[in-house]
Amino acid sequence: MARLDLSTAQVAVLDDQAHTARALWNLLHEYCTFRQGRFPTVKECDTAIRQARREIDWMGRLPAQAAQAVLRTYRQAWANFFNPAHPAGRPTFKSRSRTRPAVDVPQARDLNITRVNRRWGAVSLPKVGRVRFRWTMDLPGVTRGGPAGRITGARLVKEADGWQIVFRTERQVPAPAAHPGGRVGVDRGVTVALALSDGTMREHGPWLRDGEKERLRRLEKTSARQRRARSPGRPASRRLARTYDRIARLRATAKRRAVDWQHQTTTELARAFGVVVVEDLTITNMVRSATGTIEHPGRNVRQKAGLNRAITGQAWGRTITLLEYKTRDRGGLVVKVPAPGTSQTCHRCGHRDPASRDGTRFSCVNPACGWAGHADTNAAINIRNAAGTAVSGRGDLGAARSAKRQPPHAA
């Protein structure tokens, strides 16, 4: 994903295209779900789109190729919904306020990508013109001596800090050889981001600096005051919209820094280890609210809300998603094991007692053992030793079988 350097007029053009694409999706959804009889075919939908472009003036703001991309995406959404193995839900209407603006450029022949200098490249966009973008990585078929392959299209996405471009590429990647690295257990936490079974840890500082935190706090107070001044049922004022934009830009900054740290850390782990063992966590259940009901109110609601924010800020699921494809590309494997008991069990003697853990300190209460050390390191060792009871594995099948055959062992 690379940032586009757009003028004010070009931003307005892309905004119009994105709103038109969203409206076209809604029109397609209405055409397909509210008509009588069978579900329309692709040809019938295409004919309806062409007729709409002739009869509705503002439909012409969206390039014809981008309109066809909306149709393909909509049909694929229904195919995913009817696929029992796919987790996608039923396609619905897209709201203006809750939909991320996006425009597809499905064909790469008119992009005319060139490199301007070390930091910038240039690309041609339909109805927008020649635009510079931030050069962040080598592109196949464009960079001399770069990766072999070709660019098949692009997608324009509007984030909180402006429009970004994502290039779709096609490359032939040979099957990776088996990873020669060893096995490691990884425990995800809040106090320590990632604790490894080899005794090392991967930590990070706050995603926002002190000044940025203070600015975010002031903006949130300002937005609360502006919301109180708004009459019920009235749309947000321009001042409130500007405040929301500033808050979104700060949160986007924090997310970029978090994703950057996750990419660097997961790349390091994927290069160093052949088998990475993690807990099979149901994160959505872990971050549920403790408010309860009127009849049965919850306890420690504010503390649980703070813990939920901390877990969400760590983005544990994204860390494992990045780690899975990076280890797979390098011939490694990510194994998920059952989570219960890993933080309360001594890895040396196997004695399990909640009293053994006190915050980040683990002291085995078994008189015959008495091991003491960091609680997250102990949990990571238990996770690594539980690889023989894996519930799932992503990566090389041969590595998965060998990992499951290996018996648990103590550090």
In order, the DSSP letters of 255-268 are: HHHHHHHHHHHHHH
* Residue 235 neighbours by CB under 8 Å, 6+ apart: none
What are the structure tokens assigned to 87, written together?
């987790």
Going edge to edge, which strands form the sheet with 183-188? Answer: 201-202, 194-196, 183-188, 275-279, 333-337, 392-395
369 secondary structure, DSSP code:
T
Report the residue count for the chain. Answer: 411
pLDDT of 402: 45
Per DSSP, which regions of 173-269 are E strands? 183-188, 194-196, 201-202
Amino acid in the structure at residue 300: N
* Residue 12 neighbours by CB under 8 Å, 6+ apart: none
CA dist 342 to 73, 334, 351, Å? 43, 18, 11
Amino acid in the structure at residue 162: G
* Residue 23 neighbours by CB under 8 Å, 6+ apart: none
pLDDT of 395: 67
- Note the Cα 184 to chain centre separation in Å: 24
What are the structure tokens assigned to 56, written together?
């509705």
CA dist 202 to 28, 65, 132, 337, Å? 47, 45, 36, 21
Domains with residue ranges and CATH for the chain: 9-52+60-100 (no CATH), 183-209+248-405 (3.30.420)
pLDDT of 396: 56
pLDDT of 394: 64
pLDDT of 409: 42
How far is it, in rounded angstroms, from Cα 269 to Cα 196?
10
DSSP string, 76-131: HHHHHHH-TT-------PPPTTTS--EEEE--STTT--EE-SSSEEEEEETTTEEE
How far is it, in rounded angstroms, from Cα 203 to Cα 187?
12
pLDDT of 405: 40
pLDDT tens, per residue, the chain with 411 residues:
899 999 999 999 999 999 999 999 999 999 998 877 788 999 999 999 999 999 999 999 999 999 999 999 999 999 999 999 998 899 999 998 889 999 999 988 889 999 999 999 999 999 999 999 999 888 888 887 777 889 999 999 999 889 999 999 988 888 888 888 899 999 999 989 999 999 999 999 999 999 999 999 999 999 999 988 887 877 778 899 899 999 999 999 999 999 999 999 999 999 999 999 999 888 888 888 878 777 778 777 888 888 888 888 889 999 999 999 999 999 999 999 988 888 889 988 888 888 888 888 999 988 888 889 999 999 999 999 886 655 666 665 454 444 444 444 443
CB under 8 Å, gap of 24 or more: what pairs does 145-153 form? 147/171, 148/172, 150/108, 151/108, 151/111, 151/113, 152/108, 153/104, 153/105, 153/106, 153/107, 153/108
